[in-house]
Amino acid sequence: MKTMFAQTLTLLAASLALTLFTEPSSLAADAKPLKVLLVAGGCCHDYAKQKDILKNGIEARINATVDIAYADDDTTHPKLPIYGHPDYATGYDVVIHDECAADVNDPAIVEAVLKPHRDGIPGVNLHCAMHCYRIGNPNDPVTPGTPHGLWFEYLGLQSSGHGAQAPIAIHFLDAENPITKGMSDWTTVNEELYNNVKIFDGARPLARGKQGQGDFVVVWTNLYQGKTRVFSTTIGHNNQTVEDPRYLDLVTRGLLWACNKLGDDGKPLPGYGK
């Protein structure tokens, strides 16, 4: 009787061990690529090249497919293909905003751009996305709940401008945050340091940038309307920065975090790494 009981325990233990070791692999094999929509275009940047640098850099790092909504339109009011389509992000896991549309200020357009994020689709915002969709004077601190604050509330930080291009010394603030865990401070090539007019309560600064006398938050996360994860960095003006592996690592981790696919160790969850 004891022998049979022992044999049963042995079989159960073996079965449990097999389950423990095979489930993660099975989950990894079943993981579908993250569907990413990259919105790019507008004034003052080499979006023709940067959109491809971002797409290739992200797809090389994680299990993701990046589609591009691009406007080859070097103006501050680019005709992005998402305009007029509030359902533009249907079917996507996350939207990357890398557009420069400072003079697109029709509240109806801004509301439509924000709709997917209000519905819970995560967002990643790069560089000039912080200076888009400005209703009113961007130098005036916004009042939450007003048209002036629509885009800034989503970002979690209000910025209105930048100085001349020069190297930025980036200093990470939270060594235990999974987005920045293990990352080392670095100094960029010539870049634009965006100012901080207002940092919202839901924002969590992850890095500051120093350039001469300027010292501002340059990387942060935000929880939009209490539910939608949003990652942003104001770094990323020049191609040399965008193609820097450190920059691509940072953006990719921020994207994974926004999608809730980043482990506490700073690595992709099973099925989402390469």
Confidence category of residue 28, pLDDT binned at 50, 70, 90: low
Handedness of CA 239, 243, 246, 247 (dihedral sign): positive
User: Is 20 among the domain residues?
Assistant: no
Distance CA 33, CA 36 (A): 9
Rounded to the nearest integer, the mean pLDDT of the chain is 90
Half-sphere exposure of 123 (CA within 13 A, CB side): 32
Structural domain count, the chain: 1
Alpha helices (H) in the chain, listed in sequence order: 2-30, 47-61, 107-118, 150-155, 239-242, 245-258
| pLDDT value for 1 | 39
User: Is 168 among the domain residues?
Assistant: yes
Is the per-residue pLDDT at 205 higher than 90?
yes
Q: Token pair 């839901």 is at which residue?
A: 202
CB atoms within 10 A of CB 243: 15
User: Is 268 among the domain residues?
Assistant: no
Q: Token pair 């709709």 is at which residue?
A: 115
pLDDT in tens, 260-271: 999 999 999 999
User: Is 170 among the domain residues?
Assistant: yes
Distance CA 154, CA 217 (A): 16
In this structure, are residues 221 and 178 in contact, taking their beta carbons and an 8 Å threshold?
A: no
Q: Find the CATH number of the domain harbouring 188.
A: 3.40.50.880
User: Is 123 among the domain residues?
Assistant: yes
In the chain, pLDDT over 90 holds for what percent of residues? 87
Confidence category of residue 53, pLDDT binned at 50, 70, 90: very high
User: Is 83 among the domain residues?
Assistant: yes
User: Is 24 among the domain residues?
Assistant: no
pLDDT in tens, 143-175: 989 999 999 999 999 999 999 999 999 999 999
Distance CA 125, CA 107 (A): 19
Q: What is the pTM of this model?
A: 0.89
Range of the domain at 85: 33-258
User: Is 119 among the domain residues?
Assistant: yes
